[in-house]
Structure formats: structure tokens, C-alpha cells
Amino acid sequence: MSFYDQSEFEIRCEWGIKGVEQLAPISNVVIIVDVLSFSTCVEIATSRGAIVFPFQWKYEDAREFATSVGAELALKRSDILQERGVSHQYSLSPQSLSQVPAGTRLVLPSPNGSTLSLMTGNTLTLVGCLRNSRAVAEAAMSYGSQIAVIPAGEKWLDSSLCPAFEDWIGAGAILSHLQGSFSPEAESAIAAYHQATPNLKHLLKQCSSGKELIGKGFEADVDLAAELDVSEGVSILRHTPDGKLGARAYTYQTA
């Protein structure tokens, strides 16, 4: 028995990579929460009918992978204005995906949300954010009662976990719609969400991740991410057998 897997509770919550390692093997469903911005990007893209391939944060490998699966590669936000001669400007920016056409195949590299998505093994995996918190929670309960919610967090320069306010609040939003016995960690996230709700958009703009994006000219991304329960879209991680890197060919599609 692990003291850290919250196994005596049905509804669980833990941060990042270690959270996935502890909770995924004993849960029916894992929900990855990376509000700024992977989860929000996936919600917006898949709600419009796109197919999203999560990929870890190595762009040269990602370009090769995108070619192998016949997909477009989402750029880094910082590269959008530097790229020339491309037919799109998709990136890890929710706003850039707001008009993505149905059927688009998109490789979305991300250091946090994508990485965690590819670590959940055989456990059914959803991705959630503030925009679809209720819909994701309701979908998760239809798959089983043992549910793990994983706030992704950010990374410090030494690659250690940096807990992120927006992911904790996003996790709490989803958890608030679940039913069952809650771990103390899950209850704490719910309490934080309820406290933040009256000033949600303001707080997202004042937290560290929000200030960073606004400082780089991406305030519209924070506005999109702060919209609460505006979507009924739910994205599920599926194995896709195409591509040279078949073991890594997973896609988020509408459930």
C-alpha cells in the first residue's frame, strides 16, 4: 500500500508526473488539467472537430512525428511571428485555434499537459479545463467511480514542479461536479475553486502564469481560458495506429 495514492477515496487529486504515477494505475479515469494552455487548446480544437496529437516538448522530433501522421504542427507562441511561408499559425495559444477547421490533424507539443497525457498507460484519460469543467466531470462519472484529477503545474528552470494557481483552480472546478468520497487533496482544490469563483478572470490575470502570458501579448488566451462552463465538449485520449511512432500515436478527439 502507498501512503500517497489516496486509494481509500474515490475522488483523488495530485500534482504532475508523480500524481499520474501514483493515481493512474488505481483509477478508472484520469483527467489532465493544464488551463494555460494545453487543456484549453484541446477543448477549443476538438470542439470544432479537430484531432489533436499530444506530443512532448521537442520540436525537431515533433516535426518528424507530424509528417509521419499527416498532421500540422502547432508552433511555439514565440515562433508565430517568426515563421514564414506556412499555411497556418496554430500554436499553444487557444486564440490561434478558435477558427481551426473540422478534420484538422494537429500535433500539439506541450511540456506539461501533453507529457502527462502520454503517461497514463491503459487508464482512460480525459482532458479538462474551466471551459468544460462540468461536462468533463459528468463524462468521467459515466466511465467509473474511481477518478483522478491531475493539475499539471509548470516547471521551474531546473525542471522541478512549480504548482500553478490556474491548474489548481481548474482541478477544483472539475472536482466540484464529481460525486463520491473525496480525498483531502480533492476537497482542498474544491475549496480553492469556490473561493476564486467570484473573481475568476481577474485572478487568472493576476496569477504568475496569467501575468506572463499578458506580458507576452497573449491576454486574449487568458480571457478564453477563464470562461467557465461555456462548452459541452469532452475530449478523450485514443490510441491511433498510424504513424512511424505508433506507440506514441495518441489523439484527443471528441468523446
Report the percentage of the chain scoring pLDDT > 70.
91
**Taking the mean position of all CA atoms in its chain, how far away is CA 241?**
22
Q: What is the mean pLDDT of the chain?
A: 92
Q: What torsion do the CA atoms of 147, 151, 155, 160 make, to the nearest 10 degrees?
A: -50
Does pLDDT of 173 surpass 80? yes
Contact by Cβ (8 Å): 114, 56: yes
Measuring CA to CA, how many Å separate 18 from each of 69, 91, 120, 181, 189? 30, 27, 11, 22, 17
Per-residue buried b or exposed e for 207-242, using 16+ beta carbons within 10 Å of the residue's own CB: bebbeebbeeebeebbebbbbbeebebbbbbeebee
The pLDDT score that the predictor gives to residue 139 is 98
Q: For residue 69, what are the contacts with CB-CB under 8 A and spacing of at least 6?
A: 53, 105, 107, 240, 242, 243, 249
Mean pLDDT, to the nearest integer, of 128-146? Answer: 98
pLDDT band at 154 (very low <50, low <70, confident <90, very high): very high
The pLDDT score that the predictor gives to residue 77 is 75
The pLDDT score that the predictor gives to residue 81 is 47
Q: What is the value of pTM for the model shown?
A: 0.94
Q: For residue 92, what are the contacts with CB-CB under 8 A and spacing of at least 6?
A: 37, 38, 41, 74, 76, 77, 108, 109, 110
Contact by Cβ (8 Å): 175, 135: no
Mean pLDDT, to the nearest integer, of 68-96? Answer: 76
pLDDT band at 183 (very low <50, low <70, confident <90, very high): very high
